[in-house]
């Protein structure tokens, strides 16, 4: 199998976004494609930083060492939950598909929770859908989190101090840690056939579907690490995070401008959009050293846009346009500048709030609203609007006017705090039907 990924830096940049997008609902947070050690700034409660190429990079901690120009935030003694058991031995975006781990060189299936070295196993996939992402955290796995009141403190802190820190800085409000990881993204292509098909794909996956269609090909990009894992290793790597983020109208406008310029460049040339490859380092700051080299196999993953939901909800036309940054990752997740951060669903939601509210200067939210949205999604679909094919994502916001400091002095700003996301049927379509 040709290794197209190693020759296409643009495709490399898409993998972290694809992985985190597919796992968002089941993981309850943003899954990191390239986990880093907590002690090296890989993500813990109160860390402020950014996500780039699938890794979180810490710049400071709001409790311990915030910039001197910012308002200090006292470390809380209540509303903080540390070192809780994380009891999800496997997470996968499609429950119809099956993922098994086998010891390398044998057909033995490794039991879960995983208690052997991540690099000693090979994923075996029975793919029943055209796309799949999965994550298996070996033991031990732990979760640290803040309650709603503590998360709201981060939102308030950002509203006052965001002018004094880098744009798009996020504040970690939940971290899932493990001693290692096995994960990946898998895609298949459906084709018409005349009979039942069951086939093995050299060490990657088995496909078994009905008489009318089959998955003709399967490609996998997988991640495994660290290479120095030991049975007694602690939960030292951050695999999943939730975070608070602020998005200003100026940032939104600048992003649109970059996308338009990038689109113009692509229309003039068949050359793929320039993006930072796996060996390129983000320009925002030097990375902390000491991370363990990990094992990774990247195989021929196509640059196809995969939808946000496992069973996509159709959005209203105007919402679908605003959410295209998320649903059409190949067009917009390739970096338009070397320091562009990874795409997150929270950023897309905040941009939509700005687009819908002309009076708002800044939108702020914690990504836990996405987890809560997914938790309520199934209940909504099984309710009275089940037959309606079109739904609207409806962010619920609270607006507040504050005086904030900036490089030009104090200014009055209207802040929109996103409290939750509702899912409602399209009333126009219901009326028409």
Digit-coded pLDDT (tens) for 130-181: 889 999 999 999 999 999 999 999 999 999 999 999 988 999 999 999 999 9
Choose between 324 and 361: higher pLDDT.
361
Q: How far is the C-alpha of 167 from the C-alpha of 358, rounded, in Å? A: 20
Over range 172-195, report the average pLDDT.
85
pLDDT at 288: 39
Two structure tokens written together for 371: 């987890």
pLDDT, tens only, 319-354? 222 333 333 333 333 333 334 688 899 999 999 999
- Looking at the predicted structure, is the pLDDT value of residue 312 above 60? no
Over range 250-261, report the average pLDDT.
80
- Looking at the predicted structure, is the pLDDT value of residue 80 above 50? yes
pLDDT at 61: 97
- Looking at the predicted structure, is the pLDDT value of residue 40 above 80? yes
Question: What 3-state DSSP class applies to 389?
Answer: coil
Question: What 3-state DSSP class applies to 120?
Answer: helix
High-pLDDT (> 70) share of the chain, %: 66
Residue ranges per structural domain of the chain: 4-432
* 33 contacts 19 by C-beta, under 8 angstroms: yes
Q: How far is the C-alpha of 362 from the C-alpha of 232, rounded, in Å? A: 46
Choose between 326 and 23: higher pLDDT.
23
- Alpha carbons within 13 A on the beta-carbon side of 373: 24
- Looking at the predicted structure, is the pLDDT value of residue 56 above 50? yes
- Looking at the predicted structure, is the pLDDT value of residue 19 above 70? yes
- What are phi and psi for residue 227, nearest 5 degrees? -85, -5
pTM score, whole prediction? 0.78
Environment class of residue 355 by beta-carbon count within 10 Å: exposed (0-12), middle (13-18) or buried (19+)?
middle
High-pLDDT (> 90) share of the chain, %: 51
Instruction: Spell out a b/e string for 155-186, using b for 16 or more CB atoms within 10 Å of the CB, else e.
Output: bbbbbebbbbbeebbbbbbbbbbbbbbbbbbb
Which of 104-113, 152-161, 407-416 has the weakest average pLDDT? Answer: 407-416
């Amino acid at each position: 199998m040709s290794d197209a990924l190693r020759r296409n830096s643009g495709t490399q940049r898409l993998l972290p976004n694809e992985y985190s997008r597919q796992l968002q609902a089941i993981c309850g947070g943003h899954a990191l494609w390239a986990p880093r050690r907590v002690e090296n700034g890989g993500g813990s409660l109160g860390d402020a930083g950014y996500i780039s190429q699938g890794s979180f990079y810490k710049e400071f901690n709001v409790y311990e060492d915030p910039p001197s120009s910012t308002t200090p935030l006292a470390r809380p003694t209540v509303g903080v939950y540390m070192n809780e058991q994380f009891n999800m031995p496997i997470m996968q975006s499609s429950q119809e598909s099956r993922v098994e781990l086998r010891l390398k060189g044998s057909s033995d299936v490794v039991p879960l929770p995983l208690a052997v070295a991540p690099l000693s196993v090979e994923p075996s996939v029975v793919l029943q859908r055209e796309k799949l992402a999965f994550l298996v955290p070996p033991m031990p796995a732990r979760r640290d989190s803040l309650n709603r009141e503590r998360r709201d403190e981060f939102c308030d802190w950002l509203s006052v101090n965001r002018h004094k820190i880098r744009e798009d800085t996020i504040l970690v409000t939940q971290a899932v840690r493990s001693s290692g990881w096995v994960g990946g993204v898998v895609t298949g292509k459906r084709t018409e056939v005349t009979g039942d098909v069951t086939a093995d794909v050299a060490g990657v996956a088995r496909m078994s579907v009905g008489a009318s269609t089959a998955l003709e090909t399967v490609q996998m990009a997988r991640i495994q690490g660290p290479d120095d894992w030991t049975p007694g290793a602690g939960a030292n790597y951050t695999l999943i995070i939730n975070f608070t983020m602020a998005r200003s109208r100026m940032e939104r406008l600048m992003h649109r401008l970059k996308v338009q310029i990038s689109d113009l460049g692509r229309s003039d040339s068949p050359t793929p959009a320039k993006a930072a490859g796996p060996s390129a380092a983000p320009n925002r700051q030097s990375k902390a050293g000491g991370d363990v080299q990990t094992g990774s196999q990247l195989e021929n993953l196509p640059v196809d846009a995969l939808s946000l939901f496992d069973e996509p909800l159709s959005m209203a036309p105007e919402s679908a346009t605003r959410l295209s940054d998320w649903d059409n990752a190949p067009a917009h997740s390739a970096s338009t500048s070397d320091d562009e951060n990874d795409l997150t669903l929270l950023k897309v939601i905040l941009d939509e709030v700005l687009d819908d509210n002309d009076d708002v200067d800044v939108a702020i939210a914690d990504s836990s609203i996405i987890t809560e949205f997914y938790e309520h999604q199934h209940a909504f679909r099984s309710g009275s609007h089940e037959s309606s094919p079109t739904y609207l994502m409806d962010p619920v916001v609270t607006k507040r006017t504050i005086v904030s400091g900036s490089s030009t002095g104090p200014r009055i700003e209207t802040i929109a705090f996103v409290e939750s996301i509702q899912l409602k049927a399209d009333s126009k379509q219901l009326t028409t039907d």
